Structure 1
Amino acid sequence: MKRAYVFFADGFEELEAIGTVDMLRRAGMDAVSVSVTGSPYVTGAHNVTVKTDISISEVDAENAEWLVLPGGMPGAVNLYDCAELQALLRSQYDRNRNIAAICASPAVVLGQLGMLKGRKATCYPGFESKCGGAEMKDERCVTDANIVTANGPSSVTNMCFAIISISKGRETAVRVMNDMLIYPKEQPYFF
């Protein structure tokens, strides 16, 4: 089974990182939390410490369906500063494979790597100028070909809906959201 690797750096936004792993696993995806710190323990922006599944050196790039970048500060900067992650992202991008980023990470990571140029994208308000030539959209979540971007913690469910829809189909995404009591009438931006 192809994997969705979710990268954790010190200062990560907890809801975006942990919520993504949770929702993708609910959809039956092989979601793996990955530390970029050299330690399996990573501390979030709000002092929540988690133990990740693997370290970045254990990522199998050939088996990567998704590379997912949570935001948070300084988490997004710490992701960008990881040379191994930059290499994985460039490889994934060059092969037109799936990448998702939320909050500050679309700007701080993908924008600085030139991966959003000419693409529709969104990010955390105030980071738009760092999105490297993206066509910015004032939306919770934007999908442009194989890149999904979302604007912040409250949009993690939107980002996961997009990821699950692409990988497992819309029916599975709707089932996961309904199981989590996220309904179309209350959250019309999903459907």
Structure 2
Amino acid sequence: MAKVYVFLADGFEDVEALATVDILRRGGVDVKTVSIKDGTAVNTAHGVTVMADMPFGQADFADADMLVLPGGMPGATNLNDHKGVRDALLEQDRKGGKIAAICAAPMVLGNLGLLKGRRATCYPGFEKYLEGAQYTADLFTTDGNITTGEGPAATFPFAYELLATLTDEATAHEVAKGMMYLHLIAAGK
């Protein structure tokens, strides 16, 4: 079973974090939410208090198949300012592990130099932080071990892409079907 850690910082975008966790767990992925604070209570960008599974100091990312950064402001800035998060991302990339970031959070990857020579997307206006990347403006973009997503409305396709990457296309398809996502997409045509 794949192991994923989702970093939660005060000001994270509710739907980007929680829908991603939900979809991955529905697909059988072992997901742990990690508060970057000393405690587990984290406040979302929209004033909801969420209890993370663990504080950063108790997490060991050695078994991580993927590290995920939700966006939102000032959540993405708080992630960017956290030395432990930056170090974990650099180590994950060094060992070839998967990394995902959505909305404003790809700026953390850009600031670390992890997007140089890659295609990436983010919330419009944050592309200036994707140092060395080719900005795609797509809902999500996977290039090598890194997946980036555009913003809140892109969370579902972004999360299904992560699930397919961690499991397989059939699992992602079944979860999407069960959540009526495929029906939604078909109805929008």
In the TM superposition, what is the alpha-carbon distance from 1:60 to its structure 2 partner? 2.1
Give distance in 2, aligned partners of 1:132 and 1:78.
19
SS at match of 2:65: strand
Offset at residue 68 of structure 1 (A) = 0.1
Aligned AA (2:15): L
Determine if contact 1:120/1:136 at 8 Å carries over to the other structure. yes
Q: Which residue of 2 aligns with 1:70?
A: 70
Shift of 1:184: 6.5
Q: How far, CA to CA, are the matches of 1:176 and 1:86 in structure 2? A: 31
> Residue 183 of structure 1 aligns to a residue in which SS?
helix
Query: CA, structure 1 residues 185+79, in 2 after alignment: closer, same or farther (shift >3 Å)?
Result: closer
TM-score normalised by length of structure 2: 0.95
1: CA distance between counterparts of 2:41 and 2:148?
Answer: 26
Inter-partner Cα distance in structure 1 for 2:186 and 2:147:
19
| Whole-angstrom distance in 1 between the partners of 2:139 and 2:186 | 12
Q: CA contact under 8 A between 1:2 and 1:63: conserved in structure 2?
A: no
Measure, in 1, the Cα distance between the counterparts of 2:22 and 2:59.
19
1:97-155 deviation line (CA, Å, top 9, x unaligned): 10000000002x11111110110000000011110110110200000011000000111
Identity over aligned pairs, percent? 44
The C-alpha deviation readout for 1:18-61, integer Å capped at 9, x for no partner, is: 11111100000001111001110000110011000011122222
Offset of residue 86 of structure 1: 0.8
**For 1:141 and 1:90, how far apart are their aligned partners in 2?**
21
Structure 2: 5+ residue stretches without partners: none
Aligned length: 187
1:187 offset after TM fit, Å?
A: 5.5
8 A Cα contact 2:2 2:167, kept in partner? no
Secondary structure, aligned partner of 2:71: coil
Shift of 1:2: 3.8
Q: How does 1:81-100 map to 2 (within 5 A)?
A: 81-100=81-100
- The secondary structure found in structure 1 opposite 2:148 is strand
RMSD over equivalenced CA pairs, Å: 1.4
Give 3-state SS (helix, strand or coil) of 2:115's partner: coil
Counterpart residue number, 2:178: 179
Per mean C-alpha deviation after superposition, the further-off stretch among 179-188 and 76-85 is 179-188
**Aligned AA (1:163):** L
Decide whether aligned partners of structure 1 residues 185 and 75 sit closer, same or farther in structure 2, where only a CA change above 3 A counts.
Answer: closer
| DSSP 3-state at the match of 2:6 | strand
- Report deviation, 1:185: 7.5
Q: Which residue of 2 is the match for residue 158 of structure 1?
A: 157
Q: CA deviation at 1:158?
A: 1.3
TM-score normalised over the length of structure 1: 0.94
Aligned to 2:123: 124
Task: Verify: 1:7 aligned to 2:22, yes or no.
Answer: no
Distance 2:184 2:62 in 1: 39
Q: Structure 1 regions of 5+ residues with no counterpart? A: none
Residues 2, 183 of structure 1: CA spacing in aligned structure 2 closer, same or farther, 3 A cutoff?
closer
